[in-house]
């Protein structure tokens, strides 16, 4: 079957992303390894140049100095080439780091977009489950119930025996004025005469205000107490 229709070589986005990251990481590791090797070679050449420079200074033979200088020039040329290669590798490493950073940012952006899509899908699904007309009807029913409750509370708060139409604000002003005129027509002199005809006995002074009443002797009086004691002693002696 696979020979007829072929193999399915199509890879998912995640697989491609993983392979890309792996390739970039491998390339970065190779560049770092090559840069380390170049650094080692450059250090070795610097060491050789230092030794040649010391020999040139200590040598007094012109032929020897010329030979050493020629060798030092070759080493300098080699070091220069290695430094150029190292600079090129540094540029490649920097470009690779920038590409990897851009790839990571793009991956994070894709993850964010996918999350937003999933959130949108969930919100739409949940919103489709909500019926606005049903909510409005429910709100209307609640308002009706609240109005019925208010009417019930008003009925229960009414006092027994009082008409529903009773209201002090609706008392007729003409009726109040008529009652006031009736009070003014009453003869105040008749009221005074009725008070003067009261029984004099009823208006007499109370007994507790009469100064003619004899004041009783109290046991606390010192002279009375001594007299009572002497009388009691005489009675005992006669007995």
146-175 per-position pLDDT tens digit: 999 998 888 888 766 555 554 445 456 777
Output the pLDDT for position 166: 47
Handedness of CA 208, 213, 216, 221 (dihedral sign): positive
Query: Which pLDDT value is given to residue 52?
Result: 87
Q: Are 45 and 75 in contact (CB under 8 A)?
A: yes
What DSSP state is assigned to residue 198?
A: S
Q: Is the pLDDT of residue 123 over 80?
A: yes
User: In this structure, are residues 76 and 52 in contact, taking their beta carbons and an 8 Å threshold?
Assistant: no
DSSP state for residue 209 in the 8-state scheme: G
Q: Which pLDDT score, from 0 to 100, does residue 219 have?
A: 47
pLDDT for the residue numbered 146: 93
Residue 119, pLDDT > 90, answer yes
Q: Long-range contacts: 53-61, Cβ < 8 Å, 24+?
A: none
Residue 201 has a CB neighbour count (10 Å cut-off) of: 6
Name every residue whose Cβ is closer than 8 Å to that of residue 42 and which is 6 or more positions away in sequence: 79, 82, 83, 86
Distance CA 34, CA 101 (A): 22
Q: Which of 82, 73, 1 is nearest to 41 (CA)?
A: 82
Alpha carbon distance 111, 210 (integer Å): 115
Segment 224-236 mean pLDDT: 52
Tell me which of 118-132, 171-185, 197-211 is least confident.
197-211
Task: Give the pLDDT confidence score for residue 1 in this predicted structure.
Answer: 45
Rounded to whole angstroms, what are the CA distances from 103 to 4, 14, 52, 110? Answer: 38, 13, 49, 10
| Structure tokens given for 128 | 């489709």
Structure confidence by residue, pLDDT tens digits, 29-78: 888 899 899 999 999 999 988 998 888 888 888 888 888 888 889 989 99
* Contact residues for 217 (Cβ-Cβ < 8 A; gap 6+): 224
Q: Tell me: the pLDDT tens digits for 214-223?
A: 555 544 444 5
């Amino acid at each position: 079957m696979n020979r007829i229709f072929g193999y399915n070589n199509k890879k998912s986005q995640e697989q491609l992303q993983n392979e890309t990251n792996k390739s970039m990481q491998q390339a970065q590791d190779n560049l770092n390894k090559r840069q380390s090797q170049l650094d080692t070679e450059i250090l070795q050449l610097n060491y050789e140049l230092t030794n040649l420079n010391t020999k040139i200074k200590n040598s007094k033979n012109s032929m020897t100095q010329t030979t050493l200088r020629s060798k030092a020039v070759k080493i300098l040329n080699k070091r220069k080439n290695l430094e150029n290669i190292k600079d090129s590798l540094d540029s490649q490493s920097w470009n690779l780091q920038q590409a990897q950073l851009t790839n990571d940012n793009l991956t994070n952006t894709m993850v964010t977009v996918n999350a937003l899509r999933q959130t949108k899908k969930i919100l739409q699904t949940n919103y489709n489950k909500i019926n606005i007309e049903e909510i409005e009807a429910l709100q209307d029913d609640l308002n009706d119930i609240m109005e019925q409750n208010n009417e019930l509370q008003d009925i229960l708060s009414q006092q027994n025996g009082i008409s529903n139409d009773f209201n002090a604000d609706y008392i007729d002003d003409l009726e109040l004025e008529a009652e006031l005129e009736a009070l003014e027509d009453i003869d105040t002199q008749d009221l005074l005469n009725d008070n003067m005809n009261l029984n004099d006995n009823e208006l007499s002074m109370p007994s507790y205000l009469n100064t003619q009443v004899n004041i009783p002797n109290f046991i606390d009086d010192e002279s009375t107490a001594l007299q009572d004691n002497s009388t009691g002693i005489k009675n005992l002696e006669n007995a």
